[in-house]
Amino acid sequence: MLVANPIMIIFSFYTRLDLTDFWTKRHFLSKISQWFVNKSPRNKSIDVRIRAIQELLSIDLSRKLQKLYNELGLLQPPMILMRSDVEKMAKQIESGLENRLNMISEDVELGKKTLLLNILSEKRVEILFEEEPKTFQLDEKISFFTPYLDKVGVKVENLLNEKPLSNEAVQLFEEYIAEILSRVDHGGFNLNIPIIDIMESLYRFSQGILTHAKAYSKESAKIEKDHLNDAIIYLDTRYTLGSILVGVIQEYAQHERTL
């Protein structure tokens, strides 16, 4: 008779208070990848689409987990989720998902515009530079390295302008984000990391890629596939995603300690 190996049930699911096994966690991350490519609004920026999914999960998934926690009558964490639990939640989330992501993305986009007004008022902004978030004055000129170690100079305020991506660049970006979500370690996410951390890190990373792609595109009307590809190569080979993830985990840990 085969006996389930309890060591397999060690992976954090949404937070560190709920656990699941390797394949169930991979199943849900695969769902997020599908939702991003097929359900999120393609007329919005990639970072807006990721943030919309993140905000939806922060409300919808957390409520479903709390409901399940209450139904089980648990007195203290952790709660161990079965594959059937996760598949059921994924199916429930998919109901009307496209419309909900459209509405949330509108709010996210409005939030970006509000943030931009604050940045213009304060005349400084935090951007991903040399693999770390740094604050610059808007009138500063900075230089970004390319994967070929060339330097591209750009005025910081020019990085604030939204620049459209070509259709080929959008497709490349979608494929790359979907691929990141399927990675295990080695340039991707350790499966022990909660989804709440994964989505926040992915959002910040996508913004960093867009910032570098804008710099590489210079005076071009659009961010072309080659510009985006260079940004991905530069940041990926330096495992910038990993340093962002560490920062996000530390922020969440600090927040939990203050609660």
Which value, in Å, is the radius of gyration of the alpha carbons in the chain?
20
Under 8 Å between Cβ of 192 and 14: no
- Identify the pLDDT of residue 209: 97
Per DSSP bridges, beta strands 79-80 and 18-20 are parallel
- Identify the pLDDT of residue 1: 36
Question: Comparing C-alpha atoms, which of 69, 53, 92 is closest to residue 19?
Answer: 69
% the chain with pLDDT above 70: 93
Question: Comparing C-alpha atoms, which of 106, 117, 209, 173 is closest to residue 201?
Answer: 209
Q: Which helix (DSSP H) or strand (DSSP E) does residue 37 occupy? A: helix 22-38
- CA 185 to chain CA centroid, nearest Å: 16
**How far apart are the C-alpha atoms of 18 and 150, rounded to whole Å?**
46
**How far apart are the C-alpha atoms of 163 and 212, rounded to whole Å?**
12
Q: Give, rounded to a whole angstrom, the gap between the first and last alpha carbons of the chain.
A: 46
Q: Residue 8 — very low, low, confident or very high, per pLDDT cuts 50/70/90?
A: low
- Identify the pLDDT of residue 255: 66
Cα distances (Å, whole numbers) of residue 143 to 92, 119, 152, 235: 46, 20, 5, 15
Q: Is residue 106 part of a domain?
A: yes
Q: Is residue 127 part of a domain?
A: yes
Q: Residue 256 — very low, low, confident or very high, per pLDDT cuts 50/70/90?
A: low
Q: Is residue 4 part of a domain?
A: no
Q: Which helix (DSSP H) or strand (DSSP E) does residue 154 occupy? A: strand 151-155
- Identify the pLDDT of residue 257: 55
- Identify the pLDDT of residue 3: 42
Q: Is residue 121 part of a domain?
A: yes
Full domain range(s) for residue 137: 10-258
The predicted-structure confidence for 20-75, as pLDDT tens digits, reads as follows 998 999 999 999 999 999 999 999 999 999 999 999 999 999 999 999 999 999 88
> How many domains is the chain built from?
1
Q: Residue 2 — very low, low, confident or very high, per pLDDT cuts 50/70/90?
A: very low
Instruction: Dig out the tokens for 194 from the structure.
Output: 């909660």
What's the mean pLDDT when you consider all of the chain? 91
Q: Is residue 3 part of a domain?
A: no
The predicted-structure confidence for 158-208, as pLDDT tens digits, reads as follows 999 889 999 999 999 999 999 999 887 667 788 889 999 999 999 999 999
Question: Comparing C-alpha atoms, which of 37, 34, 40 is closest to residue 53?
Answer: 40
Beta bridge partners of 20: 11
Q: Is residue 5 part of a domain?
A: no
Q: Is residue 151 part of a domain?
A: yes
Cα distances (Å, whole numbers) of residue 30 to 37, 48, 182, 195: 11, 19, 7, 12
**How far apart are the C-alpha atoms of 247 and 40, rounded to whole Å?**
26
Q: What is the pTM of this model?
A: 0.92
Instruction: Dig out the tokens for 244 from the structure.
Output: 């962002």
- CA 175 to chain CA centroid, nearest Å: 14
Q: Is residue 2 part of a domain?
A: no
The predicted-structure confidence for 65-110, as pLDDT tens digits, reads as follows 999 999 999 888 899 999 999 999 999 999 999 999 999 999 999 9
The predicted-structure confidence for 196-249, as pLDDT tens digits, reads as follows 999 999 999 999 999 999 999 998 999 999 999 999 999 999 999 988 999 998
